[in-house]
């Protein structure tokens, strides 16, 4: 009987030990984690770039229309949400001035106007653009039509997140007939005296998104002008906050870094406290991570600032 000798030396086969298997599994898990992080980062960067490019295209189109038609145009940034269960998109609407001036909240006197606005309508043939989910547009919290109330252009404001019961802002970039960026209609007064000491007075613009000739303010009530600016319901058509520069940012990423519960009026201590917390957090985030868009002072041409 011939016996086969055992395999020795360099031909010997040896199984992996438990420790070696654990090391290999750990390396695989680490690589998978790093890959997932890298993919998510690339996807977020791509969404932000897409959003910025979309906004730039709309600004260029609006400026071209204003020059061609010799009329003021604007780009308004709002919100679209199909239903309460669907994701929310920031919208980009190109609109043109109609020449109609509205007295939205007249005072008690015959000549007292607490809130006047010029009407803009969406331009025929220009579709409403939607930004990628989570990408929003911010602008400085400055009202150039009421300089008596000061400014806070170091603070950023943006569209609300309705699923979090937030109150946001309809931001607007206004182009004059020559294509330059304007902070207000030069034909309207820059300073309006309110009829009530506790109220505010404005001359601004309003985009009639549904073209029904009515300023839709949802269920917001009260005598103050604030109800026309509040952007807390999907069907609102708030008076715009006219700005002269923009920031495009990843709101989804910001919400992962902060505590959005503090931005909700129901859990954040009321509307004013929630708005203050949201503005403070987002201002910190936007200053670090957003794409910035500024405009040439003389021509109105938009440019991206890194």
Using alpha carbons, select from 139, 100, 119, 116 the residue that is nearest to residue 210.
119
Given this model, what pLDDT does residue 149 score?
44
- Among 35-39, 104-108, 190-194, 206-210, the range with the most confident prediction by mean pLDDT is 206-210
Q: What angle do CA 174, 55, 205 make, to 5 degrees?
A: 25
- Among 96-110, 158-172, 267-281, the range with the most confident prediction by mean pLDDT is 158-172
Helices marked H in 15-93 — which ranges?
A: 18-69
What confidence tens digit (pLDDT) does each residue in 58-89 have?
999 999 999 999 999 999 999 998 777 788 99
Region 203-217 average pLDDT: 90
Domain ranges of the chain: 18-305
Given this model, what pLDDT does residue 71 score?
96
- Among 41-45, 81-85, 168-172, 192-196, the range with the most confident prediction by mean pLDDT is 168-172
Say whether pLDDT at 284 is over 70. Answer: yes
Given this model, what pLDDT does residue 8 score?
56
- C-alpha 187/C-alpha 195 separation (Å) is 22
3-state secondary structure of 292: strand
Question: Higher model confidence: residue 104 or residue 126?
Answer: 126
Say whether pLDDT at 191 is over 50. Answer: yes
- C-alpha 117/C-alpha 134 separation (Å) is 30
Q: What is the mean pLDDT of the chain?
A: 85
Question: Higher model confidence: residue 5 or residue 190?
Answer: 190
- How many CA atoms lie less than 13 Å away from 246 in the CB half-sphere? 31
């Amino acid at each position: 009987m011939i016996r086969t000798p055992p395999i020795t030396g360099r031909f010997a086969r040896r199984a992996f030990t438990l420790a070696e298997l654990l090391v290999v599994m750990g390396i695989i898990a680490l690589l998978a984690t790093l890959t997932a992080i890298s993919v998510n980062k690339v996807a977020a960067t791509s969404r932000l770039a897409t959003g910025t490019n979309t906004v730039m295209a709309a600004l260029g189109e609006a400026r071209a229309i204003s020059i061609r038609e010799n009329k003021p145009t604007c780009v308004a940034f709002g919100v679209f949400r199909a239903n309460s269960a669907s994701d929310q998109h920031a919208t980009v609407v190109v609109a043109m001035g109609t020449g109609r001036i509205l007295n939205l909240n007249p005072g008690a006197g015959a000549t007292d106007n607490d809130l006047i606005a010029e009407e803009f309508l969406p331009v025929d043939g220009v579709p409403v653009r939607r930004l990628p989910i989570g990408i929003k547009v911010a602008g400085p919290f400055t009202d150039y039509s009421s300089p008596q109330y000061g400014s806070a252009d170091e603070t950023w404001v943006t569209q609300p997140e309705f699923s979090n019961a937030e109150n946001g802002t309809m931001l607007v970039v206004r182009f004059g007939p020559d294509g330059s960026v304007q902070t207000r209609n030069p034909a309207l007064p820059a300073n309006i005296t309110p009829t009530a000491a506790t109220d505010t007075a404005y001359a601004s613009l309003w985009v009639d998104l549904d073209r029904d000739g009515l300023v839709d303010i949802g269920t917001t009530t009260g005598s103050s002008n604030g109800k026309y600016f509040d952007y807390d319901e999907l069907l609102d058509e708030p008076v715009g906050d006219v700005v002269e520069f923009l920031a495009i940012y990843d709101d989804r990423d910001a919400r992962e870094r902060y505590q959005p519960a503090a931005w909700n009026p129901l859990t954040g201590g009321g509307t004013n406290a929630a708005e203050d917390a949201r503005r403070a957090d987002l201002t910190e985030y936007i200053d670090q991570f957003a794409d910035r868009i500024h405009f040439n002072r003389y021509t109105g041409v938009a440019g991206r600032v890194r």
